[in-house]
Amino acid sequence: MISKNMENMLNEQINAELFAANLYLSICSYFQDQELDGFANFFRVQSKEELFHAGKQFDYLHAVGGKVTMKGVDAPETEFHSIIHAFETTLAHEKKVTASINNLVKHALIENDFATHNFLQWFIAEQVEEEASISNLLKKLRMIGDNSSALYLLNTELGNRVFTEPTA
C-alpha cells in the first residue's frame, strides 16, 4: 500500500507529465507554423513520450493501491520568438521535471517505500537522457547559427524520429 503523501506526489507528477505533453505540442505547433516539419515531428514525439510517462505513473499508482486523481492541466506557453528559445524552454522544463522526479525519489526513501523508489529509477535514467538530448540539440543549433543549409539538415534529421514505446 502506498502512503497518502506519495499518492499525492505521484498524482502531481502525472499532472506535470500531462502539462509537458501539452507544452511539447505547443512547441510542435510553433515549428509547423515555421514550416520546419522535422522540428515539429521531434516535439510531437516528445509529447507522445510524456503521455507514455503519465500512463506509466497512472498504472503504477493503481497497481500499488493508490487512487489516481486527475487534475486540470495548466495551459502551456504558446509564443516562442526563436528556435533557440523553444529549445531553451524545453531544457528548462526538463530540468524542472528532473528536480520533481528526484524529489519523489527522496520522499520514497524517507518513507521506506522501496517499491516506489525502484519504480522511479526508470524515470531517473530517462531524465538523464532527455536533458542530454536537448542540451546536445541546443549546442548544435548555436553552432549552426544562421546557416540555413545546416538548419535544413538538422530539420531532416529530426523528421526521422519516431516514438517507440519502451519495453522495460
Is 34 known as a binding-site position? no
Contact between 2 and 104 under an 8 Å Cβ cutoff? The reply is no
Whether 111 has a binding-site annotation, put simply, is no
Residue 127 marked in a binding site:
yes
**CB hemisphere CA count around 79 (13 angstroms):** 1
For residue 11, the model assigns a pLDDT of 97
Average pLDDT over residues 25-47: 97
Domain ranges, ordered by start, for the chain: 4-159
Q: Are 26 and 81 contacting, i.e. CB atoms less than 8 angstroms apart? A: no
Output the pLDDT for position 168. 59
Does the annotation list 94 as a binding residue?
A: yes
Q: Which CATH superfamily is domain 4-159 in?
A: Ferritin, core subunit, four-helix bundle (1.20.1260.10)
* pLDDT reading at 95 higher than 70: yes
Contact 35, 98 (CB under 8 A): no
What percentage of the chain has pLDDT greater than the value 70?
99
Grid coordinates belonging to 88 = 531553451
**pTM of the shown model:** 0.93
The answer to whether the annotation marks 12 as part of a ligand binding site is no
